[in-house]
Amino acid sequence: MLYGRAEELALIDRLLADAGAGRSGALVLTGPAGIGKTALLDYAAAQAGGLRVIRVAGIELEAELPFAGLHLLLRPVLDRLDALPGPQAAALRGAFGLAAAETGDRFLIGLAVLSMLAELAEDGPVLCLVDDAQWLDRSSSEALTFAARRLHHEGVLLLFAVRGGAHPVAGLSAHELSGLDRTAAAALLDRQYPELAPQVRARMLAETEGNPLALVELPSALSAEQRTGVAPAVPYDLAMLPLSTRVQTAFGARAARLDEAAGTLLLIAAAEQTGEISTVLDTAAAFGAGPADLMAAERSGLLVRQGDQVSFRHPLVRAAILRDAPLHQRLAAHRALAETLCHSGDPEAADRAVWHRAAASTGADDTIADDLEEAATRAYGRADHAAASATMERAAELTGTAGTGTRRLICAAKAAAVAGDLHRTDALVRRAGRRTVSDTDAPRLASLRAVVEAEFGSRHTAARLLIDAADRAPAAAAGPMLVDAVRNGFLVGDAELTTRAATMLHQRYGPSRVTEGLLGLARMLSGDDEFALPRLRACAEYAHAHSAELTQDERMNGAAMGLMTGFDHEARDLLETLVAEAREQSTLGTLPLRLHYLASAEYATGHTRDAIVHAEEALALAQSIGLHHQMDGPRCVLAWGAALSGDETRCRDLAEPALAAALNRRESATAALATTTLAMLDLGAGRYDLVFDRLESASREPMFVAAAFTVAVSFTPLRVEAAVRIGRTDHLTEPLDRFRRWAAASGSPCTQAVYERTLALAGPADETEEHYNAAERLHEKGGRPFERARTALLYGEWLRRDQRKAEARTRLRTAAETFDRLGAHLWADRARAELRATGDTTGRRPTTSVLDLLTPQELQVVRLAAQGLSNRDIGGQLFLSPRTVGYHLYKAYPKLGVATRAELATLLHESR
């Protein structure tokens, strides 16, 4: 019976009922040690009914061993691995050391966990319990959190228990437990110890602060005479110690009452970590302990046996045993465990044996360090970079030679960076930097420091570090460093650093489309459009024409350069392929950025629905896998769509945080996109003074002055239009001249058309029509439909004011229809208002497409379903379970008025 937990029991009952009905959920129970988190997990397991229960508890000693907790959780169901998609099954086997992995993408493990839980739920609802999640290794926490965030309609419930303020499964719903009220605490105490004297009872209620574990365990440390008040209660003042320490002491006192053999068995179980009875008993035999002593430990209530596993009643029991054992006994236990594992014949046990040998070491030991490095190399071989990092770090700690230890620390940092754990990378880089670093290792260390700087610090500093490191690095390593230096320098608009890196790259590796394109990026920052833009466009064209011959990074660079120069359709082709490859290979770490760029290309080419779908996915995915620096780009893309549709609240909610973050990081590219988006919002609403003030102010920002092309290309058209509307056309000569040079050098008919439109607004009145006609001719060559519609709207407005209403109607109808098709409803309404002013009253907003009734995820699902993909295949591409895919189809079919995939395909074909 659980006292004082009616609210929590009702919450768990509701979640269990939801899981039984096919609705997934996740909850984190938080609170101090002993507050009742484990008891609530036990209650959930007892009430699970027809739910399948899998369970694990984090182990403090294993907190640095990657995927240790996840392995313990899924070990009973690994027979279902073959049901997972091939790359996911291979990744999970690799993480658990069961096979060589084919990919090092850490996020693929989370996807595999999602698929495994969904696969188990095919047989019925699943309850997954994770106790002491604060001691789960980071890799396991990350994988389980990823899965929990993406479970929807499988019938899976995940319950986590986390001690204190630690919250390694952030982003999930949490419920904090407090102590029992006095009535419930008294009822629990009276049930357990009815014999307590009144003064002892009162003291226990006061000291335990309603902590259930303390209420049960602290009185057990007292003798019968102390409990009944015959003898003094305790020889020390309980209030002098933290409550968890008092409970731990009570557990230690209970363990001390066991005989020596049973105590030794408890120590071996505490040091062994995995709970395998066979390993514990085989090791204990060397100390004269056996099954009878295991039974004695169980009778004490400290150890619990379930099948072939043993566990401790509470983590504080393990802590008490390890704390109270003399050092020589703990070391002997680890040595004996290493010996047992070495003779087990289990290949997986070899690395565990090395770790126990390391735990038994009290100083430098190069033999053990060498063996740990070999274990790390095996982890590298199966693409388990998190394990490789932890193992190599321990090897460094045991290394007696300074230079070798530093090299191993740098290797550990590199593995942590590949695993995506940049906080750990940072810590390891700092430690290595305090040592003597060889000339060979110095460039590698600087490169890693740059990776950390780019994420947590300054991209300026990152670019400088990479340039300096590349100058000392061998050719094979220098190339990627310089490409990253160019990227970092460009993102912050630093022309000097970007030019320096690009020039070094060009000089060291010679001219190629790639090096010329990167040199063009640098020269573009310094204002040399005539040199830069043809090279960017040539690189984009080459990437499109020779995509099969290029690496993914080279194609990504080509696509980005295509978007800069109006090579939009070709950029979209490249990005669609890159996104498809990332889905096929399940490389989740690369996908948010590719989706962001694809969404940008889709907006440019007029595929608004797809742009929103992919930007939403990019944002959600970046958030779910912790790539927070990649969230601002998708936010800006979504904010742009909101600005065009007239959803001011959503636009500001997305764009303003992205702008603030970009300004803080001094990243001019993202800051320019957010600034332009907010200006477009005000422009559509007719707030021309706000547009002008915003862009005038931004144009004087040192960050944007350094990246002058941003002001010229992104700001000038909006700035000129606002200035004309409010009669402030002074000081436009310089930005217009720069825009002219950009438009001419870009080779983009659309950019040249926008320039002609800008001249029509700001130029001499007698040249207005000439410039509008020139813009229309250029738009006919193709390009961005939104800009073409904007030109038609402005030209139509001018014609109406000139009383040429028939000509105005033609342009305004075209503009309204295009804006409607693009979802730019704010602008469509403006075009229709102009139409009404010409006397045309027929212009009404067209009926909304049925596809607009779908959520972004429903739209993704139905499009793939219309291609004939199965639910499992769709789930594999979108990182959803097949059941969630089925749920989305179930919701989408009635909205669309279809019942089969064939009807769906017909509907989507007709809606193009």
CA distances from residue 405 to 42, 390, 392, 412, 445 in whole angstroms, order as listed: 45, 14, 9, 10, 13
The pLDDT assigned to 62 comes to 65
CA distances from residue 486 to 504, 648, 793 in whole angstroms, order as listed: 10, 36, 40
The pLDDT assigned to 213 comes to 86
The pLDDT assigned to 239 comes to 45
The pLDDT assigned to 705 comes to 63
Q: Round the CA-based radius of gyration of the chain to a whole number and report it.
A: 33
Number of other residues whose CB lies within 10 A of the CB of residue 8: 19
Report which of 743, 748, 718, 711 is spatially closest to residue 568, judged by C-alpha positions.
Answer: 748
Distance CA 449, CA 412 (A): 13
The pLDDT assigned to 33 comes to 84
- Name residues whose C-beta falls within 8 Å of residue 580's C-beta, 6 or more positions apart in sequence: none
Give the torsion through C-alpha atoms of 433, 436, 440, 443, to 10 deg: 20
Report which of 774, 803, 790 is spatially closest to residue 831, judged by C-alpha positions.
Answer: 790
Ramachandran sector of residue 424 (left: φ over 0; alpha: ψ -120 to 50; beta: rest): alpha
Ramachandran sector of residue 566 (left: φ over 0; alpha: ψ -120 to 50; beta: rest): left
- Name residues whose C-beta falls within 8 Å of residue 194's C-beta, 6 or more positions apart in sequence: none
H helix runs in 685-765, sequence order: 688-699, 702-706, 708-710, 716-726, 733-746, 749-762
Taking a C-beta distance cutoff of 8 angstroms, is the pair 889, 862 a contact? yes
Query: How far is C-alpha 724 from the geometric centre of its chain's CA atoms?
Result: 44
Distance CA 471, CA 466 (A): 9
CA distances from residue 809 to 28, 693, 725, 758, 766 in whole angstroms, order as listed: 60, 32, 22, 21, 22
Structure tokens at 608: 């608004």
Distance CA 620, CA 625 (A): 9
The pLDDT assigned to 237 comes to 44
Look at residue 96 and give its three-state secondary structure.
coil
Q: Which amino acid is at 594?
A: R
CA distances from residue 845 to 396, 608, 793, 828 in whole angstroms, order as listed: 68, 17, 16, 8
The pLDDT assigned to 448 comes to 93
Binned average pLDDT, 10 residues per bin, the chain of 912 residues: 91 95 93 90 93 88 74 89 83 75 67 90 94 86 87 93 72 88 91 88 83 84 77 50 72 88 93 87 93 92 87 82 91 94 77 89 93 88 78 93 94 85 88 90 92 86 93 87 92 90 91 91 87 93 92 92 93 95 79 94 94 94 80 95 95 96 88 94 94 90 67 84 91 86 91 96 93 97 94 96 93 94 93 90 67 84 86 80 86 88 80 64
Distance CA 377, CA 398 (A): 17
> How is 653-691 classified by DSSP, letter by letter?
HHHHHHHHHHHHHT-HHHHHHHHHHHHHHHHHTT-HHHH
Q: Which amino acid is at 88?
A: Q
Sign of CA dihedral 292, 293, 295, 296: positive
Report which of 623, 747, 666, 661 is spatially closest to residue 489, judged by C-alpha positions.
Answer: 666
The pLDDT assigned to 423 comes to 82
Task: Scan for tokens 């009822």, then name that residue.
Answer: 187
Taking a C-beta distance cutoff of 8 angstroms, is the pair 691, 722 a contact? yes
Helix (H) or strand (E) holding 248: helix 243-256
Structure tokens at 90: 């291979």
Q: Which amino acid is at 801?
A: R
Question: What 3 state SS string does 273-322 have?
Answer: CCCEHHHHHHHHHCCCCCHHHHHHHHHCCCEEEECCEEEECCHHHHHHHH
Distance CA 377, CA 385 (A): 10
Query: How far is C-alpha 677 from the geometric centre of its chain's CA atoms?
Result: 25
Structure tokens at 559: 């696509």
Question: What 3 state SS string does 844-909 have?
Answer: CCCCCCHHHHCCHHHHHHHHHHHCCCCHHHHHHHHCCCHHHHHHHHHHHHHHHCCCCHHHHHHHHH
Tell me: the pLDDT tens digits for 50-104?
899 999 988 776 666 778 888 889 988 988 988 888 778 888 887 777 765 555 5
- Name residues whose C-beta falls within 8 Å of residue 318's C-beta, 6 or more positions apart in sequence: 59, 60, 270, 312
Indicate the burial class of 277 (C-beta count within 10 angstroms; 0-12, 13-18, 19 or more).
middle
